[in-house]
Amino acid sequence: MAGVNGDRKGKKDDNGIGAAIDFMLSNAKLVLGVGGAAMLGIATLAVKRMYDRAISAPTSPTKMEQKGKQSWEEPAWVGSSPRVLNHDMKATISRSLQSLPTASNSFEPDYLRRAVGRAAVKGSGPTQSDLLRARMRLSLQERLWDFYQHDVDIPAEEQAVARKAALDICAELRVFLHAKLPDMPLREMYLSGSLYDDLQVVTADHAQLMVPLILEKNLWSSIPGEDTIMNVPGFWLVRRENLEYFPRNSSYWDRCMVGGYLSPKSVLEVFDKLVGTINWPAIGSVLDYVIRPVVPSETLTLEVQYETDRKLSVDFLPLLVMEDGTSLIAKPHRLAAERHENLWRQSFRVAETARLRALDQEDGGYRCACLKVAKAVCKLNPALNRLNASQLTNAILLLSEKQANWTHEALADNFLQLVKALVGYLEAGRLPCALSPRVNLFCELTEQEVDELGYTLYCALSEPELLLVTGETQLPHLS
C-alpha cells in the first residue's frame, strides 16, 4: 500500500488517475512477480503518457506552445487557411511562386500509381476496374481542350443569330438618330467587341455599338491623364480651345462642356434622353424581340431577348478618334466616376486584338485559344469575375515576350504560366498595358478585390483543374 500515501510532490494533479496507476504498479510484484510486474508497468506507462498528452492539449490555437510539439498535434489545431493576402502572406507567395511547378505533367493526376499501390498492399495486382478508372482521368492538357470545345467555344450558328440581333438594333438606332437629330455631327455607327473578333466565350451575349462623334480640329484638343493634376494614365481630357475666337455654341458639342472640357457623362446623358424616347416595344414587336434599356448602368445599355432563352446586351458607346489615332470612349472610371467625370477612357482593344492575332499568325500559335479559356474561367467563376478581357489579353501579350512556344501541345503549360503571372501582378498591385506600360490595368480594382483575386488564383495553382469546374462553389474566395 506504499503507493497510496507516498510522496506525490511535483506530479500533475490528474484527478486521482496517477495515484491509481502508482498503486497498481507498486503492488503488482505481490501478485504477478517481477516479470509480470515489468510487463504491466510498460503497458500502464504508455496509457498514462497518452492520458497526460490528452489533458495537456491546447484548447485554442493561441495557447499552443511553439516548442516541444507532440505527435498528436494535427494541422487542425491551427486556424483555417488565410483569408486575405496580408503583407506576410504576399511575401510568402512571392517566394513560393519561384518554386511552384508549372509544367502540365506536374499537375497530372497520380490516380494510377495510387491504385497500383493499394493493390500491391492487398497482395494482388491492379484490377481492371482500377486501371480503367485511372485511364479515365484526363491530363490537364486534355481537360483544357475538352473544356474549350464543350464550354468555351460558341457554335457559329449561335454567333450568327446574335450578330443579326445586334445589327437590327444598330439599324433602328441609326435611322432614329438621323431622323430625330439630322444636324448631330456623327460618323457612321458600327458594331464591335469580342462577338465580332471571334473572342467571345461561353454564350454570345454581348456587343458594343460604337457611335463616333465628329469634333472640329481647331476647337478641341486631347490631354493625357498623366499630364493633368489627376495623374491617371489611360484616361484623357478633351479641352475646348480658342473660345476667344470661336465662342460657346460654335461647336455642336459645346452643350456637353463642363468646366471647359467635353464631359463624357454629359454626352451619354444626351443619348440617354434620345434613346429613352424610342418606342422599343413597338420596334421589338416588328423585329420579334423584347428590347428594354438596362437601369442602372455605367453606360447606355440595351438588353435584347432575341430567343426564348437567349439575351444580348448592347452597349451604346460614344467614341472619339483623335488626330494621332487615339481612341477614347465614354466609359467612366469605375472607382472615381464622380471625381473624374470629365475623363475619357482610352481604348486599346483594337490594337491589342490585332497584336495577339499577328503573333499567332507568325508562329502558328494558340494565344487566342489560351485567352478564350482564361476568359471563360473568369466568366464562370464568380470569385474571378473582376478580371476583364483587356487585363487577360495584356497578360498574355506580356507573357509572349518570355514564352516562345505557343503550340497546340503547350496550351496547359502556357495556361499555368498565365495564372502564375497574374498572381505575381496582383501581388504587385500593377499590370502594365503591353501597348502603353505607364497604364496600370489594375488601377480600378479595390485592395480587397486584388487580395481576393490573388488568393483565389494562388490556391488554384496547386490544383488548376478546379478552375475548369463550372459550379459556383468550387473555388475558394473571400467573403
- For 192-223, the pLDDT digits (tens) are 999 999 999 999 999 999 999 999 989 999 99
Which tens digits make up the pLDDT trace of 356-393?
999 999 999 999 999 999 999 999 999 999 999 999 99
Q: Please report the domains of the chain, with CATH numbers, ordered by start residue.
A: 156-214+262-346 (3.30.460.90), 351-468 (1.10.1410.40)
Rounded-to-integer distance, Cα 211 and Cα 214, Å: 10
Asked if the peptide bond before residue 109 counts as cis, ω within 30 degrees of 0, the response is no
Helix (H, G, I), strand (E, B) or coil at 78: coil
Burial of 261 (0-12, 13-18, 19+ CB in 10 A): buried
Question: Which of 259-263, 291-295, 379-383 comes out lowest in average pLDDT?
Answer: 291-295
- Of 39-43, 216-220, 339-343, the range with the highest mean pLDDT is 216-220
Q: Indicate if the alpha-carbon torsion angle 208, 214, 219, 221 is positive or negative.
A: positive
Q: How confident is the model at residue 25 (pLDDT cuts 50, 70, 90)?
A: low
Q: Which residue has the higher pLDDT, 82 or 369?
A: 369
Residue with cell 485592395: 447
- Is pTM beyond 0.85 here? no
What's the farthest any 2 CA atoms get from each other in the chain? 121
How far apart, in whole angstroms, are the C-alpha atoms of residue 219 and residue 247?
A: 10
Please determine, for residue 12, whether its predicted confidence score (pLDDT) is greater than 90: no
Task: Count CA atoms closer than 13 A to 248's CA, side-chain side.
Answer: 9
Task: Give the whole-angstrom CA distance, residue 336 versus residue 345.
Answer: 12
Q: Please give the pLDDT value at position 161.
A: 95
State the average pLDDT over residues 30-52: 52
What distances in angstroms separate CA 35 from CA 1, 32, 42, 43, one per listed residue?
A: 20, 7, 11, 13
- C-alpha to C-alpha distance for 336 and 354, rounded to whole angstroms: 30
Task: Please calculate the CA angle 376-377-379 and round it to the nearest 5 degrees.
Answer: 60
Q: How far apart are CA 321 and CA 158, in angstroms?
A: 32
Q: Smallest Cα–Cα separation from 419: which of 401, 395, 402? A: 395
In 15-147, beta strands by DSSP E: none
What's the pLDDT band for 63 if we cut at 50, 70, 90?
very low
328 in Cβ contact with 366 (< 8 Å)? no
Which of helix, strand or coil describes residue 288? coil
pLDDT given at position 89: 52
